[in-house]
Amino acid sequence: MRPGDDVKLFSGTATPDLASSVAKHLGMELSHGSVSRFPDGETRIQIDESVRGADCYLIQSTCAPVNHNLMEVLVLADALKRASAWRVNAVIPYFGYARQDKKVQAREPITAKLVANLMSTAGVDRVITVDLHAGQIQGFFDVPVDHLTALDILGGRLKEDDLSDRVVVSPDVGRATEARRLANHLDLPLAMLYKRRTSATEVEVTHVIGDVQGKRPIMIDDMISTAGTMRRGIDALIRLGATPQVTVAATHAVFTPPALERLSGEAIERVIVTDTIPYAGGHDAVEVLSVAPLLAKAIRNVHDNASVSSLFSG
């Protein structure tokens, strides 16, 4: 940032290393504040420096523990707004509660819209996020949303490998657009799985659309939660003649059990994810790329009123 710019970066407790890396790329230091809990578990926030008239960015993924991390964002935003910050920008690399973005059955909530309303009520003026589970969630907010993508980061890493006999595979219809963008970026063919969800955590792959015979798949998704979709998709691809040398790429490493066990099969060569969610390790095949440079550029462009879409290759 330019010397004298009144910009403040704050971090919650969910992604402190990512926040520090973003600050480093911006040539700044994180602003001072403390996050603690009252004895009954309520979130307590204290801002330790003046933010009056400042352009504030609070960096926090709403990953596990989801409810606590979400409350940190809301309470931080409220504290900054009440301290007369000029603008409160919520930088949420991983936006939780995004999987319920529509009513599939009767009497279900739309939690993505609920969280969007909560952030607006708390005083958030802008949201910067990475690879939403569904693009239409941008429309749930009554404030501007800068929807970044890590496809260029993942694609840049994949280009370093031998891409001969590779095929990009979308795990479902919902990710087909992103998979096509990656396939175009890598100049590779595209295939797609058609799945039927049997429960909230289980899916069944019924069809594979595209030619995978003798090809090494690159499976791309926005997140890996239990890895059930990935595991069944890989099994279906291999049954249809795909080479058992699979690369899995995803933005958000949610990794709820038994995800790492499911990703330990011999057919999986590499799992490439980003640091939108902290990864504690434990799996040799997992490679973590950083979105800090992307977030830093987005923050700089937002503050300078420059284009954010210019950060994407198209």
Residues designated as active site: 195
State how beta strands 33-37 and 43-47 pair.
Answer: antiparallel
Q: Which residues pair with 55 in a beta bridge?
A: 7, 87
Q: Which residues pair with 37 in a beta bridge?
A: 43
**181, two tokens:** 């963008």
Q: Residue 171 and residue 208: Cα distance in Å, rounded?
A: 9
Indicate the SS3 state at residue 206.
strand
Give, to the nearest 10 degrees, the angle between helix 292-303 and helix 16-25: 60
Q: Beta strands of the chain (E only): which ranges?
A: 7-11, 33-37, 43-47, 55-59, 87-92, 126-130, 145-148, 166-170, 190-197, 203-209, 216-224, 246-253, 268-274, 286-289
Indicate the SS3 state at residue 20.
helix
* Closest by Cα among 201, 220, 254, 229 to 93: 254
Indicate the SS3 state at residue 116.
helix
